[in-house]
C-alpha cells in the first residue's frame, strides 16, 4: 500500500472542516436527524440543549479534548456510574500474575525505565475479559476480548489497557456510552445477553459507518479465540515514546502469543458455552498449574511525524491501524504469566486499570478516544471500588515508593506521617514531606496546540471503508466464508428489516462479494450502496491480518481428547499419549463411564471425563481407541456418536484405531472419512498423526457428501 496521500488529501490533514458522522448519508437516509417532528431536542441532565452529541470539544480539528466540555463530562460520568459494583463493560474476566523481560535497551527512543537495559524484569498482572456480557456470561461469546496489562515499574504503574483487536468501533469517546448501550441487553426486555446479534447493536453500527472496520474484525474468527493464550493483544491507540532529550516518537503496542493464534468455529463456540462456559478461564488455570506457562512478545511500531503526515489515514483515528507491511512490529520484550491469583475477587475483580497510568517516557497522542478514556477511567474506579484509595489495594499498589500529600478518605490504610499535608511548606525532615521531581518526573511532551475550540470531527477521520476492505481482502477464503456466515447470523436476528438493509448497504462500500454473500444468506435483495463520506482507497492486502495465514505449525499448548473403549491396545494408548505430550500437548482420557476403561493388558485406564460430559468441542483434535470388547459399547452410546460426528463437522483431524468401525458407522461417517482421518495403531501411524495435528484443521473437508 502506498504511504503517500494525494496532494489534495494531504492538505486536509491540517485544515479539515467538520466531517461528523451525521454528514454521511446511508441507505436509510440521514443518519442523525436534528430535532423536529416527533423528536424533542436532546438536552443535558440539567436541561441545556445539546448542540452536538457526536463530537467532544477539542482544540482545533485534531487537538486534545478539553475539560471545558461539560456535556461530555456529564454523559461519561453518568455512564461510569450505571452499574454497582460489576464493571459496565469487561465484567467477565480472568487473569494471572507474570513477569516482563526487556530484550534490549530502548534508551534511544524512550526514557521509560522498564526498557532501560537488556534483561530488565518487571512484575505484571494481566486481566483478560469479554466486553458485552455480565459477570456470569459464558467465555465463548462472539465478542472483543480485553487484554489489560499492569506493569509494576520502578517509576510507577503502567497500564496498557487494550483488546485482542487493533481497532475499535468509534472514533470519539463521547459515543462510547451509546455503543455500549446498543450492544447490552435491550432495556425494555433485559436480553439478549453477551451478544451483538440483535436490533439495537446493528441499528447503531449501521448508522455509524465508522464502526464498519471493527465489525469485520468482530465477525471474524478473532472474536472466538481457542484460548486466551492463543490470541494477540493491541494497545489500539497511538501513544508517544519520549527519550531523555525530550524527542518524541509515535508508538503502537502489540502483543504476539508465543503459541501463535488459534480460534474455534462458531458451531463449536455455541456448544462449548453449553458444555463448559468457563472454557477460557479453565484453560488458563490448567496451563499455569501444569507449568505450561503462557507467554507473549511485546512489539512496537515506532514512527515519526513525517510518516504520520504521509500515511493515507489519520494515526489519531482508533478505527484505523498501521499495516505491519508498512511498519514491521519490532519485538522489545516477553511477558510470561507464571502465577495464579490467590483470590479471584481480591485480585481479578478489584484490579483497576487506567489508560492514564503511564511512567515517564510514555505519553499520549490526541486520539479523541484515548483522551476520553483518560478522562473517564478514574471516575469509573471510584464508582466500582468505593474509595479514592483504591490504589492501596495490593493488586493495584505500585511496587515502587509512593509519596504525596493526599490524605484520609474512605478506607485509608496507609499511615501517613508528618506535620504538613500541603505543599509548599517550610518544614524540614520527616515533617516536610515530598517535593516535586522536576525534570526526572513525568514531563509531558511539549506539543503545539492551536485552533478554535469546536465540536468537530477532522476530515482525515472520514474514510470508514478503505481499511475494512483491506481487512476483508487479507483473509483466506475460509475466513471470508466465516465472516459472511457471521454477518448473516447476526443480522438474521434483527427483527427490523431496514436495519439489515442499511448494514448491507454500508458493506457494499467494502466489497461486493461480501455484501452479496450476506444478502444471499439473508434471502434479501441487494440494496443500493450507501454514500461514503470519503472516497474508498484501493489498498493492498496485508497478510499479517489473517489469523489462519499466521497460525503456527505446532501442537504445543493444545489438547487431544482420547476416547478409549474396553479392550483398547495398551501399547497404542501409551504410544499416542507419549507422542502428543512430547509435542507439547496434553491428553485427556475419555471413556463411556468416568471410572475408565480396561485395556488389552488388563490394566484399568482411569478416565478424566465420561463421554457424556466431554464433547469433542472441548479438544483441538480427537482420537478413538477401542478393542473388540468396547467397540459396540461405544457405537451404542449417543454421546460417543456425537463426539465423532461433531469432530468431523468441525474440520478436526481425527485419529482412529482398530475396533472403531462400528462407531464410524453409527456416526454416519462410513464412506466419508478423508485424509485427515488417520490410523493410530502403529508407531508409524502415530508419528504421522502427531505431525498432522500440528497443522491446520482440514478445511477442505466436504460436509455435504
Question: Catalytic positions, please?
Answer: 90, 163
Distant-in-sequence, close-in-space partners of 671: CB < 8 Å, separation ≥ 6: none
- How many CB atoms are closer than 10 A to CB 171? 27
Name the CA dihedral angle for 214, 216, 218, 222, rounded to a multiple of 10 degrees: -110
Q: For residue 559, what are the CA distances in angstroms to 60, 282, 556, 601?
A: 54, 13, 9, 26
- Going by C-alpha positions, the residue among 257, 258, 182, 256 that lies closest to residue 214 is 182
Q: What is the DSSP letter of 345?
A: I
Between CA 624 and CA 663 the distance in angstroms is: 9
- Going by C-alpha positions, the residue among 330, 322, 321 that lies closest to residue 298 is 330
Q: Which helix (H) or strand (E) holds 514?
A: helix 512-522
Q: What is the DSSP letter of 348?
A: I
Buried/exposed code over 201-221 (b: 16+ C-beta within 10 A; e: otherwise): bbbbbbbbbbbbbbbbbbbbb
Q: What is the DSSP letter of 537?
A: P
Which three cell numbers, joined as nine digits, stand for 119?
534483561
- Going by C-alpha positions, the residue among 4, 277, 232, 262 that lies closest to residue 133 is 277
Phi, psi of 101 (to 5 degrees): -125, 125
Say what angle helices 497-507 and 477-492 make with each other, to 10 degrees.
Answer: 160
Q: What is the DSSP letter of 359?
A: -
Q: What is the DSSP letter of 166?
A: S
User: Are the C-beta atoms of residues 563 and 624 closer than 8 Å to each other?
Assistant: yes
Distance of CA 465 to the CA centre of its chain: 21
User: Are the C-beta atoms of residues 165 and 319 closer than 8 Å to each other?
Assistant: no
H/E/C letters for each residue in 422-451?
Answer: CCCCCCCHHHCCCCCCHHHCCCCCCCCCCC
Which three cell numbers, joined as nine digits, stand for 286?
490448567
User: Are the C-beta atoms of residues 261 and 241 closer than 8 Å to each other?
Assistant: no
- Going by C-alpha positions, the residue among 641, 644, 662 that lies closest to residue 654 is 644
Amino acid at each position: 500500500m502506498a504511504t503517500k496521500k494525494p496532494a489534495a488529501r494531504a492538505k486536509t490533514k491540517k485544515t479539515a472542516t467538520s466531517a461528523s458522522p451525521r454528514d454521511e448519508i446511508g441507505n436509510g437516509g440521514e443518519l442523525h436527524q436534528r430535532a423536529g417532528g416527533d423528536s424533542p431536542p436532546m438536552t443535558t441532565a440539567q436541561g441545556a440543549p445539546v448542540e452536538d452529541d457526536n463530537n467532544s470539544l477539542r482544540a482545533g480539528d485534531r487537538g486534545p479534548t478539553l475539560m471545558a466540555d461539560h456535556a461530555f463530562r456529564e454523559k461519561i460520568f453518568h455512564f461510569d456510574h450505571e452499574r454497582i459494583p460489576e464493571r459496565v463493560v469487561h465484567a467477565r474476566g480472568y487473569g494471572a500474575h507474570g513477569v516482563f523481560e526487556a530484550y534490549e535497551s530502548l534508551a534511544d527512543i524512550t526514557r521509560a525505565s522498564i526498557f532501560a537495559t537488556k534483561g530488565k524484569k518487571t512484575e505484571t498482572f494481566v486481566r483478560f475479559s469479554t466486553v458485552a456480557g455480565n459477570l456470569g456470561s459464558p467465555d465463548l461469546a462472539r465478542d472483543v476480548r480485553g487484554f489489560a496489562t499492569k506493569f509494576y515499574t520502578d517509576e510507577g504503574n503502567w497500564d496498557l489497557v487494550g483488546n485482542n483487536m487493533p481497532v475499535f468501533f468509534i472514533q470519539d469517546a463521547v459515543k462510547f456510552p451509546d455503543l455500549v448501550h446498543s450492544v447490552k441487553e435491550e432495556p425494555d426486555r433485559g436480553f439478549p445477553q453477551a451478544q451483538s446479534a440483535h436490533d439495537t447493536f446493528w441499528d447503531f453500527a449501521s448508522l455509524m459507518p465508522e464502526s464498519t472496520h471493527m465489525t469485520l474484525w468482530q465477525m471474524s474468527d478473532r472474536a472466538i479465540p481457542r484460548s486466551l493464550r492463543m490470541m494477540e493483544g493491541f494497545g489500539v491507540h497511538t501513544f508517544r515514546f519520549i527519550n531523555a532529550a525530550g524527542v518524541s516518537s509515535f508508538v503502537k503496542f502489540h502483543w504476539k502469543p508465543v503459541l501463535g493464534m488459534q480460534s474455534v468455529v462458531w458451531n463449536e463456540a455455541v456448544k462449548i458455552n453449553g458444555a463448559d462456559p468457563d472454557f477460557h478461564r479453565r484453560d488458563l488455570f490448567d496451563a499455569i498449574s501444569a507449568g505450561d506457562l503462557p507467554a507473549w512478545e511485546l512489539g512496537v511500531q515506532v514512527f515519526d511525524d513525517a510518516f504520520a503526515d504521509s500515511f493515507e489515514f489519520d494515526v489519531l483515528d482508533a478505527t484505523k491501524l498501521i499495516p505491519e507491511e508498512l511498519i514491521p512490529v519490532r519485538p522489545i520484550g516477553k511477558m510470561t504469566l507464571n502465577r495464579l491469583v490467590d483470590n479471584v475477587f481480591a485480585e481479578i475483580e478489584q484490579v483497576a486499570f487506567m489508560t492514564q497510568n503511564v511512567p515517564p517516557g510514555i505519553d499520549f497522542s490526541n486520539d479523541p478516544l484515548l483522551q476520553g478514556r483518560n478522562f473517564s477511567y478514574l471516575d469509573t474506579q471510584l464508582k466500582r471500588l468505593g474509595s479514592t484509595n483504591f490504589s492501596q489495594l495490593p493488586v493495584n499498589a505500585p511496587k515502587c515508593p509512593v509519596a504525596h500529600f493526599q490524605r484520609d478518605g474512605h478506607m485509608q490504610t496507609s499511615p501517613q506521617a508528618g506535620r504538613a499535608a500541603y505543599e509548599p511548606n517550610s518544614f524540614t525532615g520527616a515533617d516536610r514531606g515530598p517535593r516535586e521531581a522536576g525534570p526526572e518526573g513525568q514531563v509531558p511532551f511539549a506539543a503545539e496546540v492551536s485552533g478554535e475550540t469546536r465540536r468537530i470531527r477532522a476530515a482525515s477521520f472520514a474514510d470508514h471503508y478503505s481499511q475494512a476492505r483491506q481487512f476483508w481482502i487479507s483473509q483466506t477464503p475460509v475466513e471470508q466464508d466465516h465472516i459472511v456466515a457471521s454477518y448473516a447470523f447476526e443480522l438474521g436476528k434483527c427483527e427490523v428489516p431496514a436495519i439489515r438493509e442499511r448494514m448491507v448497504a454500508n458493506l457494499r462500500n467494502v466489497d461486493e462479494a461480501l455484501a452479496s454473500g450476506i444478502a444471499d444468506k439473508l434471502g434479501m435483495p441487494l440494496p443500493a450502496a450507501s454514500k461514503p463520506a470519503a472516497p474508498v482507497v484501493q489498498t493492498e492486502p496485508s497478510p499479517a491480518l489473517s489469523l489462519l495465514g499466521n497460525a503456527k505449525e505446532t501442537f504445543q499448548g493444545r489438547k487431544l481428547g482420547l476416547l478409549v473403549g474396553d479392550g483398547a491396545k495398551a501399547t497404542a494408548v501409551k504410544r499416542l499419549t507419549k507422542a502428543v505430550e512430547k509435542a507439547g500437548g496434553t491428553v485427556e482420557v475419555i471413556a463411556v463411564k468416568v471410572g475408565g476403561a480396561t485395556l488389552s493388558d488388563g490394566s484399568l485406564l482411569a478416565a478424566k471425563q465420561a463421554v457424556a460430559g466431554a464433547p469433542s468441542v472441548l479438544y483441538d483434535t480427537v482420537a478413538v481407541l477401542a478393542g473388540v470388547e468396547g467397540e459396540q459399547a461405544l457405537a451404542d452410546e449417543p454421546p460417543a456418536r456425537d463426539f465423532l460426528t461433531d469432530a468431523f463437522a468441525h474440520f478436526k483431524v481425527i485419529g482412529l484405531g482398530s475396533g472403531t468401525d462400528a462407531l464410524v458407522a453409527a456416526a454416519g461417517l462410513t464412506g466419508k472419512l478423508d485424509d485427515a482421518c488417520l490410523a493410530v495403531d502403529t508407531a508409524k501411524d502415530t508419528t504421522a498423526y502427531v505431525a498432522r495435528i500440528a497443522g491446520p484443521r482440514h478445511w477442505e473437508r466436504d460436509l455435504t457428501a
